[in-house]
Amino acid sequence: MQQILKSAITDIRAAIAFRRVWIALAAEDIGDQHRRTTLGPLWLLINYLLFAATFIFLFNPNPADHTYPVYVATGLLVWYYLMEALSLAAGLFQREESFIRGTTLPISTYVMRTALQCLIRAGYGFVGCVIILVISGVVPTWSWLGALPGLALVILVTPAFIAIFAFAGVWFPDSQFLVGNFMRVGMFITPVFWSGAGEGGLRGFLYYFNPFTYFLEIARQPIVDGTIPWSALGLCAFITALCWVLALYLLGRFRRQVALIL
């Protein structure tokens, strides 16, 4: 086990040394995706705003509730980020096969490239979120700072999520389609634009037994309610630690085998 951990850490340290590679490639990825368009990456902002506006204007259960736009904007920001990370992760090593079989770049390089790409894309969503918060007229308070540990946890868990799903995709190539479909459905069964807090039945079940709920709430609740969801933070910290243990195991155990298995 010690050997596996050592191998994983060696790979991560090598990826840190190669940080210029994944930073450059992540930036190129974003640029390439919008290179021929007039608005470029601003489409990411427009996409976010369109989705948020749809939910805000069509699904608001109580139009008098001025916190609903804030609820949707913050929830959608985190959901979009996680959805993209997981969707890209499942086919990651297949997409990078020629690099993996042709260079000595550490496996973590591909994980970090994807994580950074998602973070950059989320940056445009973040701008959209700020725009909605300003338009909705909410006044920033010090309690909003309580969202920072939550956002930090969301960002911290992302490389682990990506590594786990990327390794799963090596042995189960169909997983990229399963994950893609699940994440599309997941948007509706996760409380992105609805809330099931305190409710029973199916909504309550989907709210409380969905781990994504807690990753959304740790970033959302301090802004919407002005309180810090300590129990959700604790649960997310536990899930994050668990995911990292699994990611480190997979990385240490299988990083050298990926090139042979692909």
If you search the block for the tokens 């994807």, which residue do you land on?
A: 114
Distances (CA, A) of 107 to 25, 63, 206, 262: 14, 49, 35, 13
Query: Which residue of 61, 102, 137, 198 would you call a contact of another protein, by CB under 8 A?
Result: 102
**Distance (Å, whole) CA 216 – CA 28:** 29
Q: Which of residues 24-83 bind another protein (CB under 8 A)?
A: 24-25, 28, 31-32, 35
Residue 21 as a binder of another protein (CB under 8 A): the answer is: yes
Q: Which two tokens stand for residue 260?
A: 């042979």
Closest to another protein by CB, 83 or 168: 168
80 or 254, CB closer to another protein? 254
Near another protein by CB under 8 A: residue from 39, 50, 245, 261: 261
* Cβ-based nearer residue to another protein, 109 or 221: 109
| Smallest separation, CB 179 to another protein (Å) | 14
134: Cα separation from own chain's centroid:
24
- In this chain, which of 1, 61, 104, 198 binds another protein, going by CB under 8 A? 104
Report if residue 257 touches another protein, rule: CB under 8 A. yes
Nearer to another protein, 84 or 96 (CB): 96
Rounded to a whole number of angstroms, the CA Rg of the chain reads 19
d(CA 89, CA 97): 13
Using the contact rule CB under 8 A, the part of the chain among 60-68, 72-80, 129-137, 166-174 near another protein is 166-174
CA gap 131, 106 in Å, rounded: 39
Angle at 138 between CA 134 and CA 144, to 5 degrees: 100
Min dist CB 219 to another protein, Å, is 33
Structure tokens at 158: 């992302």
Q: Which of 105, 122, 154, 251 binds another protein (CB under 8 A)?
A: 105
Binding piece for another protein, criterion CB under 8 A, among 59-67, 127-135, 170-178, 212-220: 170-178
CB atoms closer than 10 angstroms to residue 17: 11
CB of 258 to another protein, least distance (A): 10
User: Which range in 50-58, 169-177, 181-189, 214-222 contacts another protein by CB under 8 A?
Assistant: 169-177
Q: Give dist(CA 90, CA 96) in Å, integer.
A: 12
The residues near 240 (Cβ < 8 Å, ≥ 6 apart) are 153, 156, 157, 160
Give the end-to-end CA distance of the chain in Å, rounded to a whole number. 24
Q: Which is nearer to another protein, 73 or 168 (CB)?
A: 168
- Residues touching another protein: how many (CB under 8 A)? 26
Chain CA centroid to CA 255, Å? 23
Question: Can residue 181 be called a binding residue for another protein (CB under 8 A)?
Answer: no
Q: Which residues bind another protein (CB under 8 A)?
A: 18, 20-21, 24-25, 28, 31-32, 35, 98-99, 101-105, 170-174, 256-257, 259-261
